[in-house]
Amino acid sequence: MALSANELADLNRSEIPAQTVTNTSIGYLLNKCIATNQPFVVPRWTTLNENYKILAEESLGQKASRDFELKYFGVGVRGSNCVGQDSRGVSKYQVNQHQPIDANLFTPVPFIARPLTEDLDSFNRAKYRMRTVEERNGELYAFYWLKLIDFAKYNPHEVEIEHDPITGEEKTNPYIHTEDNLKNPQPVPLTSEGTVPVSNLYVNSSAILDCTLYQADLREMSLACKIYYNDASYASVNELGVAYGIDVEHRGAIAGNGTIQYTEVASAIFAHYITERDGRNALTNTQLNNALDHGASAPMLLHTVANSSAQGQGN
């Protein structure tokens, strides 16, 4: 029997993954402290602030966990490596997966680079965080390394997903809680083999973190890579990180030896990484869609012919 298109895709993903997702251990720990309203102690060598030397010491130590927000993202360009060529001379790439202890992207790239004399105005600066001032080719530039996530499509909700084991297709519908769920929950009996029956029906808590980059963003990134790395082709995104942090007011350098007050992020800690085998180039695309479902799936345990144990996955 021939495999369906979805089954072939699953087979290819299992042999040569096209994308990996890694959740950090410190992100999990911070999430626990937020959920229980307990203080969180930020260890050394865990924050982007230490890497970029912005509010580095102020970002460490005990913090009120509910001051943190998961609303920042950064991008990078070493989500994969070329591992050689096949017999036809076609380059083969392998996705690079993060460790849960990693505190930064493999090779981050800035979203924005502006000469200090032509820095962003206050309206546009408010969309970014982690502003550094560095010299390139004898000129001082402001670089911006984190961007705010767009929550317009966040829409937290529950969905019911029915998986067709033959075609691989999935049907999704809103999940509606019933009175029986509350007043008359029933245990699931085991099969005759003594296993927990697993159906092809799942419930999922879904919420969209929109990290999409539009044409203007991509042109800015290409220019920033040209200035920072002296190579605009570095703007070929195949790595993304989602971070917690605490917004604070901060004063930073501007042209003429002056300073300006703006909103910066302290205690910036990556919670999730996504790496991809194939980079998406800012020079040849008008939009990079990065709509991340910040959810978790759990199987419904029902009477079926399946004999596998229950499993769930998610962030």
Cα separation, 52 vs 22, in Å, equals 23
The per-residue pLDDT for 4 is 59
Q: What is the pLDDT of residues 196-239, one digit of tens each?
A: 777 788 888 999 999 999 999 999 999 999 999 999 989 989 99
Confidence band of 241 (pLDDT split at 50, 70, 90):
very high
Mean pLDDT score, 91-108: 91
The per-residue pLDDT for 268 is 98
The per-residue pLDDT for 5 is 57
The per-residue pLDDT for 35 is 96
CB 237 within 8 A of CB 279: yes
Residue 207 is which amino acid? A
Q: How many CB atoms lie within 10 A of CB 242?
A: 24
Q: Residue 1 pLDDT more than 80?
A: no
DSSP H helical ranges for 193-234: 215-228
Smallest CA-to-CA distance from 76 within 290, 286, 274 is with 274
The per-residue pLDDT for 311 is 40
The per-residue pLDDT for 282 is 85
Q: Across all residues in the chain, what is the average pLDDT?
A: 88
The per-residue pLDDT for 121 is 95
Q: Among residues of the chain, what percentage have pLDDT more than 90?
A: 63
Smallest CA-to-CA distance from 155 within 206, 85, 97 is with 206
CB 204 within 8 A of CB 161: yes
> What DSSP state is assigned to residue 193?
T
Confidence band of 310 (pLDDT split at 50, 70, 90):
very low
Domain assignments of the chain as residue spans, ordered by start: 8-150+209-284, 157-206+298-314
The per-residue pLDDT for 12 is 55
Cα separation, 166 vs 69, in Å, equals 41
Cα separation, 56 vs 167, in Å, equals 52
DSSP-based three-state secondary structure for 124: helix
Terminal Cα-to-Cα distance of the chain (whole angstroms): 35
CB 294 within 8 A of CB 207: yes
Mean pLDDT score, 264-290: 91
Q: Could you tell me which residue, 90 or 152, shows the higher pLDDT?
A: 152
pTM for the predicted model, two decimal places: 0.86
Helix (H) or strand (E) holding 32: helix 25-36
The per-residue pLDDT for 84 is 79
